[in-house]
Amino acid sequence: MFLSLKRVVKTGFINFWRNGFVSTSSVVVMTITLFVMGSLIFVNEMLDSSLELLRDKVDINAYFVIDAPEESILAVQGTLEQLDEVETVVYTSREEAEARFRERHKDDEIEIQALDELGSNPLLASLSIKAKDPTHYERINEFLQSDPSTVSTDGVPIVAKVNFNENKAAIEKLEQWMKAIETFGMVLSGVLVAVSVIIVFNTIRMTIYISREEIAVMRLVGASDMYIRGPFVFSGIMSGIIAATVTLISFYPLSIWLGPSTQEFFGDFNLFIFYTQNFGRIFIIIMLTGVFLGAFSSFLAVKKYLRV
Partner 1 sequence: MIYFDNVSKYYSDDSVALEEVTLSIAPGEFVSIVGHSGAGKTTLLKLLLVEEGPSEGSIYFHSTDIHKLRRAHLTKYRQRIGTVFQDFRLLPNRTTYENIAFAMEAAGRADDEIQADVPHVLDLVDLSDKMWNFPDELSGGERQRVAIARAIVNQPDIIIADEPTGNLDPINTYEIVQILKKINDLGTTVVLTTHNKGVIDSLGRRVVTMDSGRIVRDDTSGRYVM
What residue ranges bind partner 1 (CB under 8 A)?
Answer: 3-4, 7, 14-15, 18-19, 213-214, 216-225, 227, 308
Q: Are 172 and 86 in contact (CB under 8 A)?
A: no
Question: How far apart are CB 222 and partner 1 at their closest, in Å?
Answer: 3
Question: How far apart are CB 205 and partner 1 at their closest, in Å?
Answer: 19
Question: How far apart are CB 196 and partner 1 at their closest, in Å?
Answer: 28
Question: How far apart are CB 234 and partner 1 at their closest, in Å?
Answer: 15
How far apart CA 91 and CA 269 sit, in angstroms, is 30
Helix (H) or strand (E) holding 98: helix 94-104
Nearer to partner 1, 110 or 221 (CB): 221
Nearer to partner 1, 20 or 155 (CB): 20
What is the side-by-side order of every strand in the sheet holding 60-64? 86-92, 126-131, 60-64, 159-162
Nearer to partner 1, 118 or 217 (CB): 217
How far apart CA 274 and CA 254 sit, in angstroms, is 12
User: Which of 147, 299, 294 lies closest to 226 in space, CA to CA?
Assistant: 299
Nearer to partner 1, 18 or 57 (CB): 18
Nearer to partner 1, 188 or 217 (CB): 217
Q: What is the pairing mode between strands 126-131 and 60-64?
A: antiparallel
Torsion of the alpha carbons at 297, 300, 302 and 306, rounded to the nearest 10: 180
Question: How far apart are CB 238 and partner 1 at their closest, in Å?
Answer: 16
Nearer to partner 1, 34 or 208 (CB): 208
Q: What are phi and psi of 126, to 5 degrees?
A: -145, 160
Q: Are 269 and 263 in contact (CB under 8 A)?
A: yes
Question: How far apart are CB 303 and partner 1 at their closest, in Å?
Answer: 13
